């Protein structure tokens, strides 16, 4: 039996390792104007699963030791976005000239059980593989 991610009543975003700068504030302003709940994940919560951080049923706090904050790069995880919201968000970066977020992903049944460090390792490996293929 496969795990189904319950739909949230309101779309949400988790922000990891974003610096407090104008770019971050522009992203947060855009998302909140779209009705998205935005949470900046604290370094003390980096040992928790994405499912726990999104407060999904069945994902309890593990109180696992958090990895070094430097092991988690800037990353954005979305949950509850439909195609139109996702497309609008991606257009926002181009239209407003906002530097893109290199690591961004939708929550899935697989990555819901991962910590931010695990997710970032997978995303970086995937990005590196795509870049290698593009060079060939």
What is this structure's pTM?
0.88
Q: What is the 3-state secondary structure (H, E, C) of 79-93?
A: ECCCHHHHHHHHHHH
Number of domain units in the chain: 1
Among 16, 14, 20, 37, CA closest to 107: 14
Q: What is the pLDDT of residues 23-76, one digit of tens each?
A: 999 999 999 999 999 999 998 899 999 999 999 999 999 887 777 666 789 999
Enclosing domain of residue 96: 12-135
| Tokens representing residue 121 in the block | 């390792």
Residue 122 domain-assigned? yes
**CB-based contact 13:77 (threshold 8 Å):** yes
Residue 3 domain-assigned? no
Residue 1 domain-assigned? no
Residue 7 domain-assigned? no
Give me the count of residues in the chain.
Answer: 136
Give pLDDT, residue 63.
81
């Amino acid at each position: 039996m496969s795990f189904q991610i319950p739909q949230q009543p309101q779309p949400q975003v988790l922000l990891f390792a974003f610096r407090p700068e104008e770019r971050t504030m522009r992203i947060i302003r855009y998302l909140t104007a779209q009705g998205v709940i935005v949470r900046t994940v604290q370094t003390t919560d980096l040992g928790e699963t994405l499912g726990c951080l999104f407060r999904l049923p069945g994902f309890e706090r593990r109180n696992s030791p958090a990895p070094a904050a430097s092991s988690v790069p800037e990353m954005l995880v979305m949950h509850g976005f439909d195609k139109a919201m996702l497309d609008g968000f991606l257009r926002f970066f181009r239209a407003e000239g906002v530097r893109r977020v290199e690591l961004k992903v939708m929550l899935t049944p697989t990555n819901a059980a991962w910590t931010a460090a695990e997710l970032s390792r997978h995303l970086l490996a995937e990005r590196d593989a795509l870049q290698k293929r593009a060079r060939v």
